[in-house]
Structures are given as C-alpha cells and as structure tokens.
Structure 1
C-alpha cells in the first residue's frame, strides 16, 4: 500500500518566488485537508544533544547516559504520566478523579536520566521553526515520531504545560530543580492553545509569542502566521518585495484604518539598522515590549477596538510624508530621562533555577539604590524614587488590573519592617492565608520575574519612575512623550529640532498625570 506524503521542503520550489507565493497562500488548506501530520524529531541521539549536555553539566549533572530506545520509551511514559497528572488536577476541580496512576507512583519519577531524555526530546530543533505553528494548529491529527517510537502531540503539549506550572506536586527537590532546564516552553511556544495572551483577532499577539521562532526568510515573520489569525487583512504574501518594504507596507496598513498607535508597542529602536523608519516594527529582532505592559495594552486595545474604537484612543493627527518614511502625530512631552539602572538579569549565575528570591531581591535593591536622588534642600539626604513599587508591578492606571493581586504579596515578599507589619494586618483581616504562605510567595515570584528580568528602570526630572524593556537601549537625555492614539508613554530620541526617533513604549508612573492637562498638543515627527 502506498502512502502519499506531502513534504514542503521537497514539494515547493524554494527558488521560484511565484510558486512560493502560491504555495504559501494555500499552505493552511494543505494541512487542513491532510489525514494527519507526522512530526519527525530524528533519532534517539542527535548532534544537537551536545549543547543540552553542556547546559546540564552547568547544573552539576555530569553523568548523562547515552540515549537508547529503552530510555526514550521511559521518557515517553513519563510524558504520559505528566499529562495524566495535569488531567487529574483539572478533574479534581469537578470532583471526578479517575486517573489510575499518580506521578509519584511511577518508577521513572526519581530517575534523573529519564528526565534528561525527555529534555532531549523537547530540545529538538523542530520546535524552533516558525512555519510549524500553522501546521500544528490546523492539522486534524498530529503524531510525534522519535526514532521507532511515537506519541500523540497532545500528550507532549500537556506534559509541557504541567512542567511549566507544577503547582504543589510531590517531587524531590533535585527533580524540581530540573524543571526550568527541561525546555518545556519550547513545546508551548509552537502550540496556539498553550500560547499566553494569544488573540486571533490581533496579529500582534502572535508576533509576540513567535518572536523567538526561527525562519530563514524574515518576510515569513508575517507570511507564516497569516493562516492562523483572523486579523490578517494587512498581510499580503509577495516574495518579490524586499523585506523592508514588506514591513513598511504592513505597518502603514495597520495604522491608517484605525487611527491608533497599537503597532508602536512592537517597536524597539527599529531604525537601529538604518534600513527602517523607527515607527515600523523590525520583526527581525525581539520586539520592543515590556511583557506586562504588552499584555495589558494588547488586551485593552483589542477590547476597545473590537467594540468600536473609543474616541480618546484615536490619533488627533496622523499623516505621512510623501516618501512614506516619516509619520506626523500629536503629543505632549512628559519629561526627560535623568537617571537609569542597569538591565535586570535574574538568570545568569543563578545557583538554583527554582529559587529566584535572592536574585530578584538583589536587582530591586540595586535599582532603588541607583534611583535615590540627593535632596535639593540637603545634600546629605536622599529622596526615594516616586512610584517605585507601582512601576515594578505596572499597577497604576491604566494597568490597575493586577494591583490588588500583586501589591500585597510584594509588601510581604520584600521582608522589611513595613512588610512584616503588613503581613500581620493582612492575616488579621483574613486577606492572607498562612497555610499557603510559601506557595503564594512562590507564585508571586513567577509573576515578578517577567517584571524584572530583561527590564530597566529610569527616572525623569520630577522624580517619577518608569520602566522599559532592556533591549531598547535608552539613554540619559531621551524624552518621554504621550502620543495621541497610544496606550502607553513612549521613549523618543531627538534627532533635530523637529524630528524624533521612536525608541520604545514604556511604563511611566502616573502617566496620565505626568503632563499638565492644559498644555497644548505639539506636532511630533517620527523618522
């Protein structure tokens, strides 16, 4: 019996741009109509395993056995049990546990080598590819093949979900310390259902989720995701157009119809290479987004625009130069950066990847020390940065949705005199459950991590604090602006008397009150 197979690398002439255009447009329907998707991850041992071996040695796992079919089979059994444990946790919410075997009952649970083999599976290069996201999303049935073994895709996906959020499962500390190293995030980053904050009505949300996936052609940053979002009318597949023009055409088509600046959230000093205007997202590099702000603004923007654009979110003025390289807007300057911290790094030289407490505390302490300013009345006194906690938590208007959830554990977690007093008050008022004290603080650390790692704080002349993604390269002297049509403050860098470069969106404490309401709107030209 012959089995017809369709393999894109073989069936599409990659050298013919017309054929690539035509096949890319019908890629979604090809995978939708296929009886199934076979995911070949290679043999049990691959050259790519070497990089993983050295990473494990860094965490004092210096005896990694060679892989074999028996060991690989054990790793897949472990994945099944992780999936079952996750299912059990879900079923317990509905009071109907029917799982026959618990994770702690499995003979493989404490076998370090089996976890390493599962990690080898998760680290296969296939999970780095951008185009596979669409393949997985639309296929009827996906099977993972590893050597002579196979497993349903949903099993691996659910196992990865459990590893990323293990909760209070009973496992030895040496095994739990492995969890951040296993590469489970590589599975969820290619599965639409597992992506955090993915909204098919907003293509920017999947651009954020897929920014670390690999593609050989930078135009595929847009083309490869066109078939899995409803919000794709701005993307036209044409491999004959240079990448810079593809990005610029897409940006213009997103801005003009809505008269909003939501797309600016994806800019990170886009003009740094010199071949794009600063207001056009350069999808060849990580997006310029502080993750908590990104999530809040994309959700707020999608909600507002999905129900009809709110008048206060519209640009007061919006036009382009004749050559299409400059955009004219209205804005109000909120201040100038006069001090800034280093970029937070919570992972380098971390003794225990499951213990973030000491590293996060050290970063916050260092940030506070840098941002304290001498008193104008007395050089011996220092003034604390205004809105430091609110900036770290991104908890002041219009991002107040998490304020009540994070402010309380932040006070307790910092552990100073005020925090101990707060803990007593919170316990007495019934707001804090001491039986879950340690678990709640661990959950808070997971929420705090993306608010600190890879971020950079600053102050403006008034002493107000702000925070920005660290990959944007802000400078002392950069200006903070509120731009009509935007949901955040923005860091702009003055080029000359009338022109600015867009550096990044950012969080600015009390943003809406940082500028005198009576101050006139000014013309802003972004190049």
Structure 2
C-alpha cells in the first residue's frame, strides 16, 4: 500500500494482535473507504479473510484509508469491493493492508500468525478477478470433471491440469468456504493445481475443513495419505510450482500448514524472519528438519556446477527454485532406513555448513546411461521403448546381482520406481508396455524372465509409460561396480559416486566423496531395487559384512 501521509501505528507486543479492516458501505460506483483497527486474535470480532491473485502489478486503484488517500493493487481493490455491501460496515483482513509491509519485524511476526488468522476468520473470500473471456465456465466444468473422476475412481489417470483453477491453501484452513466469483474470472492463474491439490490441500488434516466434511473429497485425500508419509517436506515440494514476490515466502507461505509444526508441539520448524538472507533461511530450515528426518534432501536439484562452485552446502535445498533439469522428487512411499516402521528418530547434527549423519555405504556407481531428457520420452510408445532398450543394454553388459526369477522384476521396478501397492505388479505393467510398444524386445525377453507365462495386463501399457516418464525424466539408469546393482539416479551423478542408505532418510542417496575421509556431497536421491524397504539395514543388523555403519559428514 502506498501513501504519502498514512503512518501505521505499531501493534501491541503482548498477546497475538493483528489489524482488521473496516470497509464502510457503498455502491459499486462509490469510492472505497476503509479504516484499520487493532484486535487480539483471542477476542476478535467476526471477519472475512481475503485471498486474492496478484493481477497486473502496473495497475493500481485509490482507497480512502483513515482519511488518507492511498494506492493499492487493482486486484486487491476489486476484492475489497466484492466484500463491501451497500448498507452495512464489513470487517475484513487482507495481508497487503493489515500488515505493515515496510516493517520487517512486524511482517515476520504476522506471517507466523497467518495460519491462525485464516483459521479464526468467519469465512474466506477468494478473489480471482475479472473474466473478460468468460473462461470461468470452462474452469468450473473442469472442476466438475475432476469430481466425477474421483467419484468413479478414475482420478489416478493422466489428467491435463493446465486449465484447472488454483485453490490456494488459505481457503482450506477455514471453517467455512465462501467463494465469491467476480463478474469475470481470470483465465490464467499462477501456480500448479496438481501440487496445490496433492501436496498442500489434501494434507491439511483439519477436522472441520471443507475436505473433511465432503465425503468425495475426503476419500480422495485419504487415498493420497494412505499411499505415502505426509510431512512438511511434502508440503514444501509445492513451493517450486508457485510464484512469490519475496523469495523468503517460498517457505514462509506454508508456515500456517499443520505439518509446519514439529511433531506433538505448537512450534513451527522455522519462525518467519524477514531479516534473514535466503541462504541462511534455507540452511536454518534444513537444520531444523534434520532433527526429525533427512527426507528434505529429496528436494535437492544438483547440477555439476552447483556441486563444484555453489555457495550452498550440498545438503541444503533451495526451496522455490525449479531448475531446467528438475526431476520429480520421491520419498513418501518408501522406508529405506526403517525410520517409519520402527518409529525411530536419527537426529542429525548441523554445524555451520556441515551436517553430521550416519549411514550404510552400499556400493560405488560404475556405468550409467545418458540423462533421459523430457523430449527423449516423446512419443512414449516409440521413444520410451528405445530408452528401455538402452537401459537394458547397460543393465546386462556385465554380471548383475539378481537371480533369474527376479531379473525382470528388478529391472521393471527400477524404471518406474515401483512401490508396494495394490493392483498390477511392475512386471505386468512392463509386459503390457513392451507387448504394445516393442514386440520384438518383448519376445527377446521371454527367455530372461518368462514373461509369456504371466497374465499380460494390456491396460498396463499406458500406466507403465506414464510412470517411466514421470520418474525417469532428468535421471540416469545406472549399475554399481562391485555388486552389479541397478538403480535410477540423478542427472549429476558420475562414475565413482557412492550409493548410501542414510539413517533418517526414506530413500537411498547418491553421495560424492570429497577426498576427505568421511566427507561427502549430496548428489541426489536414487531408487535401488531391494533397498527401498530397509533391506540393507536388516542385513547389516544380521551381520552381513557387505555393509557397515559409518559416520558421514555432508558438506
């Protein structure tokens, strides 16, 4: 908010005080007249929280604010006008006005209260803006289609989410949803509907939320939760799919989510502090998350350059950044260190740029395919089959670790990062894909694993191709040196890197020795058949000399 004369009055430092906005009555053509007043969240009057899209930053509107002329974003002005009535004063909250954006200390304090602000609101108005092309009908048609797919159990199919309206997570923290549409709806919204739905909204486990009160939506969320471990790392994954004016908000925007709190406490993993540098914010958050698990390491997006010259420690993700060679993170469905099954914690210790952990070194990376890029999968029927042949050629050029009856299962599982779930097996899906996309290759593999003796699931063809592309994009298929193990690893991996199961992490990782004994850089997560559900840990406990617990320092 811009004004040459208005000055904010500081909020009381005791209690949980916020500012609320009185919107005085007026007709659509009247000037917007408002006034701020402080209140304690414990005794607040009923108010509407406003969530709005940014709109065109070059467009502004005038607001009469406590007898001062001020300028605010046109989109915000439109949203406030939507709340205003012709005969009654309305009470509202909007971040750009109710928080002094120039006071970094206050801004941090208010962001820490953001979850409570939306939670205690009587309702939330989501303002999406005008709709000059009348695309709102199409947006809501898409929503109806999504609901229909959920009802009929077809929601796991490949869906084009590019035109589905974004529902920001603020809406789902409120007891009641009050969705006001403007006369027109914006055709383009920033962010990714898929990640808003999957990572943020469906993980919000509030008892009285809209999701919990709606059977269809509740079943959808329960289905997601049943297949993976929901933590703040999952919520933070959505950050790279949204935009933020201040890069610190890629983290702070999610502090109102229940998973932002440390287990069994009311303390968040990080307190909002706008005096921090971005690097310090990321390091502090990573250090804090490491007290519970190491799954945040799955968010690393390393390149050869970042591993060699980055100012960031290799174990500190840059949340909000989406690199051109981005690979979709995975960790939710596995339990490589038995952390989840045994409900154990392996607290890591951070000291400046170093993080001390422990783990089992599995083997050394030997050969790998070139990085499988997005275009390499198009069209999936032909290109996907070619990639599979390339991976198979590498996998079989030397002796491998798997018995005859497990070869195809190990290979297929690695390509799609298979996890244990009801339905078709990885082998059935793989057989269906090969039968459809590469019948010659399919026949040649008969003697290796007896695919012809299986019940081929033809409908598995599309499912395998979709999963292979999802997990394989910007990754490499690799083989280890000593044991002949197969895996799917990060694009930045190279010969001589090591595969490790880190205690406290739910997937294995590729590490790069620095030349100093016990010190490694984190290259990225990897999938390794037979190591995703604690197999290495159990073997080590049973005295298998192939594995030894080591103290590891990540730098």
Classify the TM-score, shorter chain. Answer: 0.5 to 0.7
Residues 173-193 of structure 1 deviation map (CA, whole Å, 9 limit, x = unaligned): xxxxxxxxxx86376368613
Instruction: Map 1:399-438; keep pairs closer than 5 Å.
Output: 399-401=419-421, 405-415=425-435, 416-417=442-443, 425-427=453-455, 438=458
The structural deviation recorded for 1:447 is 3.4
Instruction: Map 1:49-64; keep pairs closer than 5 Å.
Output: none
Does residue 75 (structure 1) correspond to residue 138 (structure 2)? The answer is yes
Q: Show the counterpart of 2:111.
A: 24
Does residue 362 (structure 1) correspond to residue 425 (structure 2)? The answer is no
Counterpart secondary structure, 1:278: coil
Does residue 252 (structure 1) correspond to residue 287 (structure 2)? The answer is yes
The structural deviation recorded for 1:496 is 2.1
Instruction: Map 1:289-308; keep pairs closer than 5 Å.
Output: 291=328, 293-297=330-334, 303-304=340-341, 308=343
Alignment partners' CA distance in 2, 1:333 and 1:474? 16
Contact 1:490 1:504 in 2 (8 A): yes
Counterpart secondary structure, 1:210: helix
Contact 1:478 1:493 in 2 (8 A): yes
List alignment gaps of at least 5 residues for structure 2: 1-24, 27-83, 85-89, 155-159, 203-219, 262-267, 401-406, 436-441
Alignment partners' CA distance in 2, 1:474 and 1:6? 48
Q: Show the counterpart of 2:20.
A: none
- Of residues 217, 225, 243, the one that matches 1:214 is 243
Alignment partners' CA distance in 2, 1:200 and 1:372? 34
Residues 306-340 of structure 1 deviation map (CA, whole Å, 9 limit, x = unaligned): xx42xxx747xx5444xx32233344433322221
Q: Show the counterpart of 2:209.
A: none
Alignment partners' CA distance in 2, 1:80 and 1:201? 25
Q: Show the counterpart of 1:389.
A: 412
- Of residues 459, 484, 489, the one that matches 1:468 is 489
Does residue 188 (structure 1) correspond to residue 197 (structure 2)? The answer is yes
The structural deviation recorded for 1:444 is 3.7
Q: Show the counterpart of 1:494.
A: 513
Contact 2:129 2:186 in 1 (8 A): no
TM-score under structure 1 normalisation? 0.64
Q: Show the counterpart of 1:49.
A: none
Q: Which has the higher contact order (CA 8 A, sep 6+)?
A: 1
Counterpart secondary structure, 2:331: helix
Structure with the larger helix share = 1
TM-score under structure 2 normalisation? 0.61
Does residue 275 (structure 1) correspond to residue 311 (structure 2)? The answer is yes
Alignment partners' CA distance in 2, 1:211 and 1:465? 30
Contact 2:432 2:458 in 1 (8 A): no
Does residue 448 (structure 1) correspond to residue 468 (structure 2)? The answer is yes
- RMSD of the alignment, in Å? 4.4
Structure with the larger strand share = 2
Alignment partners' CA distance in 2, 1:525 and 1:500? 6
- Of residues 162, 166, 169, the one that matches 1:133 is 169
Q: Show the counterpart of 1:333.
A: 361
The structural deviation recorded for 1:489 is 2.6
Instruction: Map 1:191-202; keep pairs closer than 5 Å.
Output: 192-193=201-202, 197=224, 202=231
Q: Show the counterpart of 1:162.
A: none
Alignment partners' CA distance in 2, 1:44 and 1:459? 53
Alignment partners' CA distance in 1, 2:335 and 2:549? 25
List alignment gaps of at least 5 residues for structure 1: 46-66, 92-115, 158-182, 377-383
The structural deviation recorded for 1:369 is 3.3
The structural deviation recorded for 1:203 is 0.6
Shift in CA distance, 89/277, structure 1 to aligned 2, threshold 3 Å: same
Alignment partners' CA distance in 1, 2:143 and 2:330? 36
Shift in CA distance, 143/371, structure 1 to aligned 2, threshold 3 Å: same
Residues 194-247 of structure 1 deviation map (CA, whole Å, 9 limit, x = unaligned): 778568961111112333222233322322111112442322111122222222
Contact 1:143 1:150 in 2 (8 A): no
Contact 2:511 2:524 in 1 (8 A): yes
Alignment partners' CA distance in 2, 1:12 and 1:298? 42
Does residue 481 (structure 1) correspond to residue 481 (structure 2)? The answer is no
Alignment partners' CA distance in 2, 1:76 and 1:523? 53
